[in-house]
Amino acid sequence: MYSELLNHKVNIIGFLRKLFVGVVIVALVIFLSSNFLDIQTLWQNIKAIPLYIYFIILSLSFLSYLFRAIRWLNFMRNVEPNLSFFEHFRIYFSGFALTMSPGKLGELMRARYLHRHDVPFSFCVSAFMTERIWDVLIVSILSLFYLSAFLSHWLVFCILSLPFLVIAIIHTSWLDWIISKIKKLDFLKSNIRSFRSLWGCKLNLYAVFLTLMAWSAQGVSLIFILYSMGYSEISPLVIIGIYCVSLLAGAISLLPSGIGATEASMSAILIYMGVPAEAAILATLLTRVLTFWFAILLGFIAFCQLEWQRKI
């Protein structure tokens, strides 16, 4: 699998096909919405958003991905201490070009470029898994800003305890015992050490802070959009919670990057919270375009640069 990843010629047409499918889904949502929404009201909401708000949101989105890139850099410094910040960031951003793959596994394409710098494929997989775990944990905790009103105190406590439980499981000797008893998992024994090396106390503190800042920054983007349209009745923390609940709904749907499910859940929750349908759908689409699709654009630029560099 590793050699195939390194030597495989990247299928640009296949990538563009997936990108086209995603755009079609979003366009279909807009088209279906337009059949029962007041287009004039929708247009008024668009005009109500000052241009500088878009710049602020794009800046927040870039800052969010920069936080995640720094988190990745902290992981990579365990095995590659000499590569420049710029090169690491460019390789990290390139993964976003393939983020629409199931489970975001396309982001493992970063190993294709890190191999030239003697970063083992197994370590890239460990870093990828660690990223996904922290993303799910922190987004779940941030979602409590909205869900806490509907959940029991006991369940809220359980969700807040998840990071400590995961760290305990990863470091427990029981994990070694379980793997030793399952022969089919023998291949994990050689990789478990690199995976655990990413769960030290210092790296955990960095990962928590950077992941928290990254996803909060994207949630703040939704706050700016709603408030600029005049819908400031909802608490900022609750809006961040709504954003994160929608991300979880998209992840649970098992659709690539949650396209469709994330937008539908975010719009539905905002409407439930009293935001008019036109404003809720517009805020949802703008947030996704200026965060998720912006990341794909950045990733595609970095991806093309790295592929062009490989051919030189």
Q: What is the pLDDT of residue 5?
A: 46
Q: Please write down the HEC assignment for all residues of 266-277.
A: HHHHHHHCCCCH
The mean pLDDT value of the chain amounts to 80
Tell me the per-residue pLDDT of 198-256, one tens digit each, with 9 for 90 and over: 877 778 888 999 999 999 999 999 999 999 988 889 999 999 999 999 999 988 887 77
**Could you give the number of structural domains in the chain?**
1
> pTM higher than 0.75 for the full model?
yes
User: For the CA atoms of the chain, what is the radius of gyration?
Assistant: 21
**Residue of higher predicted confidence among 175 and 107:** 107
Torsion of CA 275, 225, 207, 188, to 10 degrees: 70
Tell me which residue of 12, 299, 252 sits closest to 136, measured CA to CA.
252
pLDDT band at residue 4, thresholds of 50, 70 and 90? very low
Locate 277 and state its tokens.
């349908």
274-286 mean pLDDT: 89
The Cα 299–Cα 19 span in angstroms is: 12
Range of the domain at 183: 2-311
Give the pair of three-digit tokens for residue 95.
């993964």
